[in-house]
Amino acid sequence: MQTIPIHPLASADGEAARVLQICNACRYCEGFCAVFPAMTRRLEFAQADIHYLANLCHNCGACLHACQYAPPHAFAVNVPQAMARVRMATYADYAWPNAFGRLYRNNGVVLALALALVAALALFVTLIGSRALASSANQVAGDFYRVLPHNVMIALFAPVFVYALIALSIGAARFWRAAPPGRVSRPAALEATHDALRLRYLDGGHGDGCNEADDAFTVVRRRFHHCVFYGFMLCFAATCVATLYHYGLGWRAPYPATSLPKLLGIAGGFGVVIGCIGLFGLNLRRHPLHGAAEQHPMDRGFIALLFLTAASGLLLALVRTSVAMPALLAVHLGAVMALFVTLPYGKFVHGVYRGAALLKWAIERRQPNRLGLTDD
């Protein structure tokens, strides 16, 4: 039997196209997730199509464990690994500016932690200069703005946050324009939002969850992702409510422990910490065929920054009236700043591009299949 040669040095796009051609002929996994029915609408796979399908893949591993052509078969079909390598390339290719994306891709953990350290040290020096570290617990009274004035904090973080939003928006626009699916309808937008918020395609296509270290199914990866995402959103909501209190109602911080910003922030912080610990453990134990080893620095760098940000925030709430508060505040703000700076160049963008890919699929599946090869 003639086999398809394997080229270890082939590009990520080329290997993905080879795998997709084999899958398109087999179609055993067509009901597993959105990647496979989207695949059947194509006979050939241009680069933009490969990038779209790679970000539509949630890397649950179900197709690998079900595939009769998976390694050690000569065809060596490994959809999760091929898609992971393409996704990693898209993070850099669509990033703005492009050079920053390549830098973070190659130095994930080191760059993330270095940025956190540099930002923390810079803020620490600022605090020393203002003699905030010499203040007693009674003097600072748990008030962060006595350590770093509100206007100074806004001046430091607003430009970084706006820059991150602009960079993410440009990257998402580049990804969308590469293969525009057509007009966005309300049903398609609602479906994509629903699938993204539920992480529908982390159920393995059968509702039992992902395959992790072996053939057993587990839903823990989905649960930890939910902890991180909804914890992050609760923290963001706490910031929004505190902004409303400050500018809209004239209520100045610090707020009591039972206030809405505090409750939202603490709940969100615990969610992020639990999710990060769980995802980091799963990342260490993940089956080597489920992903690309070269993506681990990017994954772990993002997890480390999220964990540092959330954990330092929770500790800050506990020691806010102690003499350790100014130093811990510098560490926390440094982690937050590093997180904002690296958002467009690390694993965070997978949520943006995956959401865009889900919306593309929701639009595409409502259109007639021009190939006429399936009933979809």
How many CB atoms lie under 10 A from the CB of residue 252?
A: 11
Q: In angstroms, rounded to a whole number, what is the distance separating the alpha carbons of residues 308 and 116?
A: 9
For residue 371, being part of any structural domain is answered with no
Q: Specify if 270 maps to a domain.
A: yes
DSSP string, 193-218: HHHHHHTGGGSTTTTS-EE-SSS-EE
Determine, yes or no, domain membership for 276. yes
Give the DSSP H or E segment for 104.
helix 98-106
Instruction: Tell me the CA distances in angstroms from 96 to 93, 287, 305, 343, 344, one per residue in order.
Output: 9, 32, 21, 11, 8
**24: number of Cβ within 10 Å:** 18
* 363 within domain boundaries: no
Contact 92, 98 (CB under 8 A): yes
Concatenated DSSP letters of 253-282: SPPPTTSHHHHHHHHHHHHHHHHHHHHHHH
Q: Is residue 299 part of a domain?
A: yes
The tens place of each residue's pLDDT in the chain, 376 residues long, gives 333 343 343 488 899 999 999 999 898 888 888 999 999 899 889 999 999 999 999 998 888 988 999 999 999 999 999 999 999 889 888 989 888 777 666 666 666 767 777 777 777 767 666 665 555 444 556 678 878 788 888 888 899 999 999 999 999 999 999 989 999 999 999 999 999 999 999 887 777 778 776 677 888 999 999 999 999 999 999 999 999 999 999 998 888 889 999 999 999 999 999 999 999 999 988 888 888 888 888 888 889 889 999 999 999 988 888 878 888 888 888 888 888 888 888 889 999 999 999 999 999 999 988 776 554 5
CA distance 41 to 351: 24
Assess if residue 129 is contained within a domain.
yes
DSSP element (H, E) containing 338: helix 325-342
Q: Which domain holds residue 341?
A: 97-180+198-346
- Is residue 372 domain-resident? no
Two structure tokens written together for 296 = 């681990």
Position 217 in a domain: yes
Q: What is the DSSP string of 117-173?
A: HHHHHHHHHHHHHTTGGG--HHHHTT-HHHHS-HHHHHHHHHHHHHHHHHHHHHHHH
Which residue shows structure tokens 């039992």? Answer: 208
Cα angle value 130/133/134 (rounded, 5°): 95
pTM, two decimal places:
0.88
Residues whose CB falls within 8 Å of the CB of residue 372, separated by 6 or more in sequence, listed in order: none
Q: How many independent structural domains does the chain possess?
A: 1
Residue of 327, 351, 299 whose CA lies nearest to 127 = 327
Upstream peptide bond of 181 is cis (omega within 30 degrees of 0): no
